[in-house]
Chains A and B, each alone.
Chain A
Amino acid sequence: MAGKGRGVGAFTFNIEALGIGRGSMPEARVGPSPLYPNTDFKPVPLKVGEDEDYMLALKQEMRGVMQRLPHNIKAQSSRADVEKYTERYLKQRQIEDEAWTPDWNLFPKELMPRTKKPRTKATKNKKSGKGSSKEAADVLSKLDELEKKDDGNAEKSDDEPEKKAKNEEEEEIEEEEYEEEDLEEDNDYIESYFDNGEDFAADSDDNMDGEATY
């Protein structure tokens, strides 16, 4: 009886005065609302028309152009990745970009590249940017040289697309080999590390063994 009384007596006033009658209390909320709640009303369709289509085209074009401008700075790490077949096309396109040298009168002096290295690099890019067929060929040959200089990795990636066309099995085998190499390397590293540990704490190991046998 007392328990029931307490439940009812939580309100020290007549709740009818609030306009909340018996049974008309809204349901209590349990937990947070769902991430994708059901909507009672479906959204209105987008406006369609010539204006909207043109602006859509403008937007997409703008995005494409901005990504190709020198203002769009690529992350350095992406270059270290294994070269893909498609990247050659993309690279060719990027080479045609002109380097961008801002008017330093408008910028704080401290932003000027101080070291000589990046500057020379920039001018090189600029030259290739002019993009005569001869120079483009030079660049390509240089890229090839760089590829050859790189060890196994680059060659493999070079072969990949051709092999894909020929035979998938071969590629799989190759991948397996590759993985094995990796594993070996890993093992080498771990063994050497383990050796060090043994040398250092040989005594304690012996003790441990002794305890275990007893």
Chain B
Amino acid sequence: MTAQEIRLCGLLLQEHFGEVVEKVGTHLLQRGAQNLRTIVQETNLSVNLVKKCLCVLVQHGACCFTSGRKGPGSPTEYRACSDRILRVLRYPRYIYTAKTLYGDTGELIIEELLQRGHMTMSGTVKTVADRLTQNMEEGHSMDYREVSSAFSKLVETHFLQRCPPVGGAGTSGTTAPAAAPAAAATPAAAVSVAPPTPESFPECYSVPHVSLIGRGKRQLVPENGEDQRNAKRAKMDTETHGDEGIYWQVNFERFHQHFRDQAIISAVANKLDQTSSEIVRTILRMSEVTTSATAACTKPLSANEVFRSLPASYNIPRHILDQYLTLLVDDPMEFVGKTGESGGGMFVVNLHRALANLARATVESIVQERFGSRSARIFRLLLRKRHLEQKQVEDFAMIPAKEAKDMLYTLLSHNLVQLQEIPKTPDFAPSRTFYLYTVNQLPTARMLLQNCYKTVANLIERRLFETKENKRLLEKSQRIEAILASLQASGAEPEQLSEVEEMISAPEKQQLDVLKLHVNKLDSAENQVDETIFILESYVSSTSTS
């Protein structure tokens, strides 16, 4: 937990949950696990407000609670999860991925779940069906069954998972009667102090039987059908669908696996060609379910198996496949490895090696864009040769001594290159010491990751500043839009409408356009920095598990 991460988390919380939640959240991030009393005392907020904030944080999984850490009967402690808060940055990507994989229905399911933190299946299906119906033409509506099947598909592919049931040691005494239905559905967890992972429950990916029949409802025009709708909704709310107490959340790990696979596939496609990327895609798809999230490489597959699973449309004959596989194994990026000779050769995808290589490429390209291609040459040289003296760097990089020195020192001062002293005698006399330059990939990646967090925080800050500067103008345009909408609803004449529209003068309009352009650019930049963050984060986390 670094200062940059806390700053970014604070900004994200503020933007999505308001200032009060941000205060409680950053407090928890800075102080670690704390109980309710301490939080109330140290934040100077009212008890009810703190409670509300904690509810919001827990609802969104940004905060977990354990009880009885200091012995049975000790108060419940709350701990903020910075990882989960930083995921907010990636929400658009999750939603977009769901759209590409499962269409509009999948998109809306993921969107609803991300907005609400966690929901029951019946609740999600109903809301999504209603929203889809809203967007359809008059007379059409979305069937609940269709949405349910999309939901089940998302669960089958592990993109959604059940929220782990609450099974704390301290709370079990008081909550036993209330939690009984939940405990019956999912076998009670072994009482442990460590927070349970969702995957540790056997029914994590089993869809309960949900009795949901009907179609999405269109929001009726307020005037005529108001009372009717209220009555209907009240009736609907009291209905039970057989899945009460079973809540679902988005499985971020699964999404990350998908992003990682896509990154590997596109890297292969860029490095070699389309066909080889399709082969890698096939191998990854075959081992999708059998490989655990943290495995260093996929389960070995024989060339025969790969051949049989290749989609017929690719038209790759067997001997060509063998050639491609040899080519992939020989490639210096080492995406694909060979583990045995049986069955025409056993092949794996080296997931961690691939992540390391992707991260290296990212770091290299950052150096190239920041310091120019000649500095990047020195950087790559050091990566390959590990330790080099200054003289050697100048010679190998084929750059004039003076310039090379300058570049090397610039890289050194930005901490991208490290200096290692090796004295010949114990007195570290400079004349009898080797000065070796080297690049450590992991610390460099960590540092760049922190820089990325800082970048995003700065982008958000800048966007807030821009909107604050033009607050009056934004409010005015909002007001005019509201007036326009109400006028249109009441069927006003076009002259009246244009008159209202002219309330915003031309320079003001221009200023609004400029503002919109800036905000869009900043938002887009946030999205794209997050792609770099993803690569670096997965590389750093892969080194900690292997």
Contacts and interface: CB of A to CB of B under 8 A. Distances in A.
Interface of A: 11-14, 17-19, 24, 26, 39-41, 43-44, 46-47, 51-52, 54-56, 58-60, 62-63, 65-67, 69, 71-76, 85-86, 89, 102-113, 115, 118, 130, 132-133
Given A62-B92, A104-B178, A56 B527 contact: yes
B17 A66 contact: yes
Interface string B196-237: 000000000000000000000000001100110010010000
Contact of A110 (B76, B116, B401, B430): B76
Contacts of A85: 479
Contact of A75 (B19, B92, B245): B19
Interface string B168-200: 000100110011011000000000000000000
B483 to A, nearest CB: 9
A163 B388 CA distance: 77
Interface residues of B, number: 79
Contact of B524 (A56, A65, A69, A115): A56
B159 interface: no
Given A41-B370, A132-B226, A13 B60 contact: no
A106 B166 CA distance: 6
Contacts of A26: 405-406, 409
A55 B93 contact: yes
A75 B117 CA distance: 21
Interface stretch (B49-57, B271-279, B329-337): B49-57
Q: Which 8 pairs show the lowest CB-CB distances between chains A and B?
A: A13-B431, A58-B92, A55-B92, A66-B16, A59-B92, A73-B18, A72-B18, A108-B76
A113 B171 contact: no
A86 B478 contact: yes
A65 B178 CA distance: 32
Given A13-B429, A58-B92, A102-B55, 16 more contacts: A18-B430, A19-B405, A24-B405, A55-B527, A59-B526, A66-B16, A67-B16, A71-B56, A72-B16, A73-B18, A74-B19, A76-B49, A86-B475, A89-B479, A108-B67, A109-B174
B101 to A, nearest CB: 14
Contacts of B17: 66, 71-73
Contact of A132 (B48, B92, B230): B230
Given A46-B521, A67-B16, A130-B233, A41 B36 contact: no
Given A56-B523, A72-B17, A86-B478, A111 B406 contact: no
Interface string B10-38: 00000111111100000000000000100
Interface string B399-411: 0011001100100
Contact of B48 (A59, A86, A106, A113): A113
23 contacts: A13-B429, A19-B391, A24-B401, A41-B371, A44-B369, A58-B91, A58-B96, A59-B91, A62-B95, A63-B16, A67-B15, A71-B59, A72-B17, A73-B17, A89-B479, A105-B175, A105-B181, A105-B245, A109-B171, A118-B48, A132-B230, A133-B223, A133-B226
B16 A105 contact: no
B20 A109 contact: no
A111 B96 CA distance: 35
A18 B226 CA distance: 86
A51 B51 contact: no
B18 A62 contact: no
B179 A105 contact: yes
A28 B352 CA distance: 42
A56 B430 contact: no
A105 B166 contact: yes
Most buried by A among B96, B117, B181: B96
A75 B18 contact: yes
A113 B372 contact: no
A152 B528 CA distance: 51
B435 interface: yes
B96 A55 contact: yes
B143 interface: no
A75 to B, nearest CB: 5
B92 A41 contact: no
B247 interface: yes
B20 A73 contact: yes
B280 interface: no
Interface in B89-124: 91-93, 95-96, 99, 111, 114-118
B163 interface: yes
A124 to B, nearest CB: 16
B263 to A, nearest CB: 14
A76 B50 CA distance: 12
Given A43-B369, A113-B48, A89 B478 contact: yes
Contacts of B442: none
Contact of B117 (A52, A71, A105, A109): A71
B527 A59 contact: yes
Contacts of B478: 86, 89
